[in-house]
């Protein structure tokens, strides 16, 4: 079995009770069938505790005040203490590792939803390298229905996408736009069953910056704007069922802060935000895009929709930046101290006074990104809702998303 993982993967080490946001609280922990059977037949001192702490119907651990029933006051696991590390279910053993399964390949990454993993991922300043190692003890599970040819073309496309995303000689916005356009063009080959054209497509996206910029200039993006597309994305985001009970209080009102006073104020505030945080946003966009592309793009082998996977990555990058902008505006808009946390409209002229306000602190960025990941990535319903809306709605067509990525430069 071949394992592929990012170069920072082995840096992770759980900090257990020292973690300020334990992974054993805020969401239901699903129990795999093998572990459930083990718990059902447990003996000794943990038998009674398991009987009352497992939701056997829903196949998950019960929660007490939104905390796993086995999480003690020291933020340590009583099940681990009482029965040893082998007692942990698959979720608890593997988290915060995300594993994508393909024929003969396992792609393993860290989850942004873990705040310690988020520190590692977002703290990686160099371009991400992907390493591979062979586990000869683990045999590959062959699937006769697996479309290996499509998977190969997805891998080759993803390699080109990584080359584009990590080309720091280009702006992050242009890199995102090129990758979105590439995935759009790939989707047409998948739909029309013309995968034999993919090699030529990839060659055209090598060193095509000038041609692509000309294509953008004549694409007719003027009728779209980041303000409209981002606000529509945020509307979808607000529909998601919160996993963390504390999240709605933090999320609610951000849309009013961002979009409540209209497009002109939004664009003025965005310019001020990028003046203070633009350098960090350049790297953050790359980090978010590489993370989502590695984690999800090749999964299109199971649904024939690589364009949808790329849309998810772009939407995540846009939403993260919008949320960070809202947090920054709370601290920098006139009169904000007495109104902090309330849903108030921004002033039409945007931020007054010194344009260069304090930039967001790295811990603020890490905290918000890990909360976003938890709400989107760890709910099949929430991620499915976002992917469905991105695919089906005209508001999220190629031109709308391209304009959302690059529009601020023309504002």
At 142 the pLDDT is: 64
Cis omega (within 30 of 0) for bond into 96: yes
How do residues 113-166 score in pLDDT, each as one tens digit? 999 999 999 999 999 999 999 886 666 666 778 999 999 999 999 999 999 999
Chain position carrying tokens 């922990």: 29
Chain position carrying tokens 């998303």: 401
Chain position carrying tokens 């709400």: 375
What the block records as the tokens of 363 is: 């811990």
Neighbours of 243 (CB within 10 A): 19
Neighbours of 239 (CB within 10 A): 11
Q: How buried is 217 (Cβ within 10 angstroms: 0-12 exposed, 13-18 middle, 19+ buried)?
A: exposed
Q: How buried is 76 (Cβ within 10 angstroms: 0-12 exposed, 13-18 middle, 19+ buried)?
A: middle
- pLDDT of 301 strictly over 60: yes
- pLDDT of 206 strictly over 50: yes
Q: Compute the mean pLDDT over every residue in the chain, rounded to the nearest whole number.
A: 89
Give the residue, 26 or 93, on which the prediction is more confident: 93
Q: Which helix (H) or strand (E) holds 297?
A: none
At 183 the pLDDT is: 97
Q: Which residues of 262-297 are buried (b: 16+ CB within 10 A; e: fewer)?
A: eeebbbbbbebbbebbeebbbebbbbbbbbbbbbbb
Percent of the chain with pLDDT strictly greater than 90: 69
3-state secondary structure of 110: strand
DSSP state of 130: E
Tell me the pTM. 0.90
Q: How buried is 385 (Cβ within 10 angstroms: 0-12 exposed, 13-18 middle, 19+ buried)?
A: middle
How do residues 89-103 score in pLDDT, each as one tens digit? 998 989 999 999 998
How do residues 166-182 score in pLDDT, each as one tens digit? 999 999 999 999 999 99
CA atoms of 161 and 300, how far apart (whole Å): 15
């Amino acid at each position: 079995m071949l394992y592929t993982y990012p170069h920072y993967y082995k840096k992770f080490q759980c900090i257990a009770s020292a973690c300020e946001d334990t992974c054993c609280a805020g969401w239901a922990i699903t129990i795999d069938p093998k572990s459930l059977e083990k718990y059902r037949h447990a003996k000794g001192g943990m038998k009674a505790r398991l009987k009352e702490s497992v939701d056997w119907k829903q196949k998950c651990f019960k929660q007490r005040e939104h905390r796993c029933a086995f999480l003690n006051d020291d933020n340590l696991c009583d099940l681990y203490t009482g029965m040893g590390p082998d007692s942990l279910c698959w979720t608890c053993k593997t988290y915060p590792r995300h594993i994508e399964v393909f024929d003969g390949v396992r792609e393993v990454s860290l989850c942004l939803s873990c705040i310690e993993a988020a520190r590692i991922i977002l703290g990686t300043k160099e371009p991400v390298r992907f390493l591979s190692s062979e586990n000869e003890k683990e045999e590959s599970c062959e699937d006769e229905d697996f479309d290996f040819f499509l998977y190969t073309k997805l891998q080759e496309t993803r390699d080109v996408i990584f080359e584009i995303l990590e080309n720091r000689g280009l702006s992050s916005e242009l890199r995102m736009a090129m990758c979105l356009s590439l995935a759009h063009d790939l989707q047409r080959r998948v739909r029309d069953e013309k995968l034999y054209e993919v090699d030529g497509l990839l060659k055209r996206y090598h060193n095509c910056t000038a041609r692509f910029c000309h294509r953008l200039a004549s694409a007719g993006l003027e009728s779209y704007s980041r303000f409209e597309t981002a606000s529509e994305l945020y509307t979808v985001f607000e529909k998601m069922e919160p996993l963390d009970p504390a999240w709605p209080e933090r999320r609610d009102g951000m849309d009013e802060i961002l979009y409540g006073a209209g497009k002109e104020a939004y664009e003025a505030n965005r310019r001020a935000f990028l003046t203070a945080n633009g350098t960090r946003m350049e790297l953050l966009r790359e980090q978010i895009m590489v993370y989502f592309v590695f984690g999800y793009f090749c999964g299109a082998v199971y649904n024939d929709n690589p364009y949808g996977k790329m849309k998810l990555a772009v939407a995540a990058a846009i939403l993260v930046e919008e949320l960070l902008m809202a947090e920054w505006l709370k601290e920098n808009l006139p009169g904000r101290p007495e109104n902090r946390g309330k849903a108030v409209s921004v002033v039409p002229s945007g931020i007054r006074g010194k344009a260069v306000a304090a930039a967001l602190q790295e811990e603020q960025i890490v905290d918000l990104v890990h909360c976003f990941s938890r709400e989107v990535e760890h709910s099949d319903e929430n991620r499915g809702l976002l992917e469905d809306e991105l695919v089906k709605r005209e508001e999220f067509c190629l031109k709308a998303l391209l304009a959302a990525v690059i529009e601020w430069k023309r504002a």
